[in-house]
Amino acid sequence: MTDTGIEITTELVRSLLEEQHPDLAGAPLREVAGGWDNRQWRLGDELAVRMPRTERAPDLQRKERRWLPVLAPRLPLPVPRPVRIGEPSARFPKPWTVMTWVPGEPLDTAPLRGADHAAGTLAAFLGALHTKAPAEAPAGTDRGAHPRDCAEGFDHFFRAAVPCEAAAAVRAVWEDAVAAPAWKGRPVWVHGDLHPANAVASDGRLAGVIDFGDLFAGDPAWDLAAAWVLLPEGAASRFFEAYGRADEATIRRARGLAALKCLFLMLMGRNGERGLPGGKPAWGPVGRAGLDRVVRGGPA
């Protein structure tokens, strides 16, 4: 169900394609598990239909349609590109999008192997993404703030999910991030939501990055947290060496944000195990593994 109360079914998606993009409507169509703001259907081998399910989802899709064609050509990994726009109609009152499909398995089910290759690949991708953003680029909202401005969210996730044996170490990492100087550089493009369900692997290697709905211009530390959240054990130091542009304060902020993201993943995993709405059972183990990497130390 969406926030409008309309049930999104395969039959509905097919009828929308027939109505607005009949040349695509004959391709095989199947729903893909996952998704938070959007539900997604695989359309043939090369396309996907993204259907908004939350109040904010249409704006996120508009952002992707505006900026992914600008960013994609300079990125060294596949990312989704908008192909067609679905207009609001009597059948479905919100806009929707047909995107290119990025092949691979999400990292919450297919973790990366090989620290050196993973670190270098992610560093190259983020180095290409983290370029100066134009004045009209979207600003961060709930993401993008300094860790000190995220204390309420961190405290909630900490109380709900932190393992007792790791609590002191996680709290120390977070307090160090809060104390770190703020980003003083010009705003750069930031994916904003790099977690294991938003990156895909093929044969254990990073093969693509998806879901740019939270794209914004700001502090790259929000993406650099992926050094611990996405990469295998021992890869953080190799990642920051290859990335080459993160100062000590940025790394401190990134490590604290990695702790925040891992606690969130663990909480969503627990909710999934309990059958609660929005829960993601596969996120718990990857969140705990990432948190272990966080508390074992920084990249040095």
Q: How far apart are CA 44 and CA 103, in angstroms?
A: 12
The dihedral of CA 205, 106, 29, 68: what is its sign?
negative
* Contact status, residue 163 vs residue 111, Cβ threshold 8 Å: no
Q: How far apart are CA 122 and CA 38, in angstroms?
A: 25
**Looking at the predicted structure, is the pLDDT value of residue 298 above 70?**
no
Per residue in 97-139, pLDDT tens? 999 999 999 999 999 999 999 999 999 999 999 999 999 999 9
**Looking at the predicted structure, is the pLDDT value of residue 67 above 60?**
yes
Q: pLDDT value at position 292?
A: 97
Q: pLDDT value at position 293?
A: 97
Query: What value does the mean pLDDT take over residues 15-36?
Result: 94
State the chain's mean pLDDT as an integer: 95
DSSP 118-156: HHHHHHHHHHHH-SBPPTTSPBPSSSSS-GGGGHHHHHH
Per-residue CA distances from 159 to 4, 56, 75, 263, 294 (Å): 33, 27, 38, 9, 18
Q: pLDDT value at position 143?
A: 85
**Looking at the predicted structure, is the pLDDT value of residue 257 above 90?**
yes
**Looking at the predicted structure, is the pLDDT value of residue 6 above 90?**
no
| Cα 86 from chain centroid (whole Å) | 23
**Looking at the predicted structure, is the pLDDT value of residue 56 above 70?**
yes
Q: pLDDT value at position 70?
A: 97
Query: What value does the mean pLDDT take over residues 15-35?
Result: 94
| Number of other residues whose CB lies within 10 A of the CB of residue 249 | 16
Query: What value does the mean pLDDT take over residues 269-288?
Result: 92
Q: pLDDT value at position 4?
A: 63
**Looking at the predicted structure, is the pLDDT value of residue 5 above 60?**
yes
Query: What value does the mean pLDDT take over residues 81-109?
Result: 96
> Could you tell me what percentage of the chain is helix, strand and coil, using 3-state DSSP and rounding each to the nearest 5?
45, 15, 40
Q: Where are the beta strands (DSSP E) in 4-81?
A: 29-32, 38-43, 47-52
Q: pLDDT value at position 278?
A: 81
**Looking at the predicted structure, is the pLDDT value of residue 239 above 70?**
yes
Q: pLDDT value at position 217?
A: 97
Question: Which alpha helices (H) appear in 31-150, and where do they start and end?
Answer: 57-71, 115-129
Q: pLDDT value at position 277?
A: 83
Residues in the chain: 300
Per residue in 142-170, pLDDT tens? 789 999 999 999 999 999 999 999 999 99
Non-local (6+) Cβ contacts of 255 within 8 A are: 173, 176, 177, 225, 228, 294, 298
Non-local (6+) Cβ contacts of 141 within 8 A are: 216
Give residue 1's pLDDT band: very low, low, confident or very high (50, 70, 90): low
Q: How far apart are CA 120 and CA 135, in angstroms?
A: 30
Residue in the structure block whose two tokens are 């060294």: 76
Single pTM value for the model? 0.94
